[in-house]
């Protein structure tokens, strides 16, 4: 997705060989026009699936998931990381380790919002080691629902998450695949292959 890659090159900040900061447009401040384009792209890539729900994890996955949900005409569910007084009973839960924050959270989704009749598209902002995606897939499995695939805004292809998920036979569509973060520069997969 050309617009996203241009935005990453222009506004992304490489903090190390494994950390890319994109808080100016994706996971702190949100660029609505870019989010619309991202939602449109996910619909193009998964248009032949009969999506009934979109599942993401709070908070950075919510914006792209909502835009895709708007285009698909389906509800978006976000797995909560934080405890809530109103979300205590009848939950699907999974443990998710965050690479960036180096913390493990128990995520939760109410059993009222996903069931065996759902065909779920999982969407998230980043794919690195795949732990968030695996946690969301665990919740889909607990509900007895089926998985249409996983839509990722930015994949760090130099980490194992994408390979892990694809080796499990899961369809993963990443809008921007980063081959490496090198000397303050973002190198996309297709740049290395060219």
Q: What is the pLDDT of residue 85?
A: 56
φ, ψ for residue 38, nearest 5 deg:
-65, -45
Residues of the chain falling short of pLDDT 50: none
Residue with tokens 């913390």: 103
Tell me the pLDDT of the chain averaged across its residues. Answer: 93
Report which of 34, 32, 36, 28 is spatially closest to residue 60, judged by C-alpha positions: 28
d(CA 36, CA 49) in angstroms, rounded, equals: 20
Q: What is the pLDDT of residue 145?
A: 98
Chain segment 106-161, per-residue pLDDT in tens: 999 999 999 999 999 999 999 999 999 999 999 999 999 999 999 999 999 999 99
Q: What is the pLDDT of residue 71?
A: 94
- Is-above-0.85 flag for pTM? yes
H-helix or E-strand spanning residue 181: strand 172-182
Q: What is the pLDDT of residue 54?
A: 98
| Rounded (to 5) percent helix, strand, coil in the chain | 35, 35, 30
Report which of 92, 175, 176, 100 is spatially closest to residue 137, judged by C-alpha positions: 92
- Quick one: tokens of 150? 């996983």
Q: What is the pLDDT of residue 59?
A: 86
């Amino acid at each position: 997705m050309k617009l996203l890659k241009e935005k990453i090159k222009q506004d992304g900040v490489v903090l190390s060989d494994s950390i890319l900061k994109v808080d100016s447009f994706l996971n702190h401040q949100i660029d609505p026009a870019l989010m619309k384009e991202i939602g449109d792209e996910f619909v193009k890539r998964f248009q032949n699936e009969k999506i009934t729900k979109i599942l993401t994890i709070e908070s950075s996955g919510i914006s792209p998931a909502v835009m895709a949900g708007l285009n698909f005409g389906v509800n978006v569910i976000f797995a909560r990381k934080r405890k809530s007084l109103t979300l205590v009973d009848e939950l699907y839960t999974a443990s998710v380790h965050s690479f960036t924050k180096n913390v493990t959270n128990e995520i939760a989704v109410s059993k009222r919002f996903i069931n065996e009749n759902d065909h779920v598209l999982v969407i998230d902002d980043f794919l690195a080691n795949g732990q968030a995606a695996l946690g969301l897939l665990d919740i889909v499995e607990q509900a007895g629902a089926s998985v249409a695939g996983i839509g990722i805004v930015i994949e760090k292809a130099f980490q194992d998450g994408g390979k892990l998920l694809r080796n499990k036979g899961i369809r993963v569509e990443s809008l921007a695949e980063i081959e490496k973060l090198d000397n303050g520069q973002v190198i996309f997969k297709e740049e290395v292959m060219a």
